[in-house]
Chain A
Amino acid sequence: MRMNRKLLFVAAVAGLAALIAVGLALAATAASTQTSTTNYSDWEGAKTKWVPILDVTNNGIRIGAAQVAGPASQVDKCKAVAQLELQFKNLARIKAYVPIESYNVLRLDRVQGVSVWATGDLRIVKY
């Protein structure tokens, strides 16, 4: 009986310690915000539209669609979204989306104030 109580106590302490450790490991992320410039258009009454995603690595091949959003005048300028693949320290693969004014991915003319709200593609084969 005494042995069982001891076991129960050890198990409870171990569980509690583990929970605290996990909690600490996954502590809340500190907010970090960078501001390159402040002249970024506000989006009240944002306009949206779907445009093709062009792969920069593969000379502008169309690889899907993106819904872009932003101030109406800027969204109207946007013709496509260039997708740039980046590699961060063998730790993460990054797909950067750049809303652009033309279909030319060799020169990325970014449309400022516009960003991506959704991506989409067509399923060609259903398994």
Chain B
Amino acid sequence: MKPRITKILSLTIASLLFLGVAITAGRALDLGDVLKVGGIAYLVDRYDKPIDNFINKALGERHAQAKGATKVVPILSVGSGGYVGAAQVVGVPAGVQKTKAVLQVEIEAGSFRATGLLPIGKKAASKSSTRIKGVGVSAVIDFKI
């Protein structure tokens, strides 16, 4: 096969794949389809406030609501660099407002495994990511995929 035709075919296949992904993303609220697109970011964007309210209400009914600011942000995995879920952060209002994501760091020491949850001010994991002071995690949210 000629290199030019191969190139055209590859481009066409890639374009169709992208198009398939885009069409799927466009069908709002069809959960299965949205999640196939890796839609955790979409779900956090769409449901951040309702989930935040839901958690605060559920804890409020048990007189266990946190005093302070709260917000739902995506959880970023250090390993994959992608979104793996969401978290409700709580803390001083200024710090919570700055928080854009929670960085998930897996640490293993012998038989002890720990998962660090660091509120950060960026939506992407990088070496320069620093923990936002005065903010911590109050809930971890797993979307059903």
Q: B18 contacts A14, CB within 8 Å? A: yes
Give the 5 A-B residue pairs with the shortest CB-CB distance, closest first: A115-B136, A18-B18, A40-B68, A21-B22, A25-B25
Instruction: Using CB atoms and an 8 Å cutoff, list the residues of chain A in contact with chain B.
Output: 4, 7-8, 10-12, 14-15, 17-22, 25-44, 46, 67-70, 82, 84, 86, 88, 90-98, 100, 108, 110, 112-124, 126
Q: Tell me if A's interface is mostly helix, strand, loop or mixed.
A: mixed
Q: B139 contacts A96, CB within 8 Å? A: yes
Q: A21 contacts B26, CB within 8 Å? A: yes
Instruction: Using CB atoms and an 8 Å cutoff, list the residues of chain B in contact with chain A.
Output: 4-5, 7-8, 11-12, 14-16, 18-23, 25-26, 31, 37, 39, 41-45, 47-56, 58-59, 62-74, 86, 88-93, 95-97, 100, 111-118, 123, 133-144
A123 nearest CB across to chain B (Å)? 5
B81 nearest CB across to chain A (Å)? 15
Which A residues lie within 8 Å of B53 (CB)? 34
Can you report 24 A-B residue pairs in the complex whose CB atoms are below 8 A from each other?
A8-B7, A12-B11, A18-B22, A20-B22, A29-B45, A30-B45, A43-B134, A46-B134, A67-B114, A86-B55, A86-B139, A88-B51, A88-B141, A91-B31, A91-B144, A96-B138, A97-B137, A108-B64, A110-B63, A110-B65, A115-B89, A115-B135, A120-B114, A123-B111
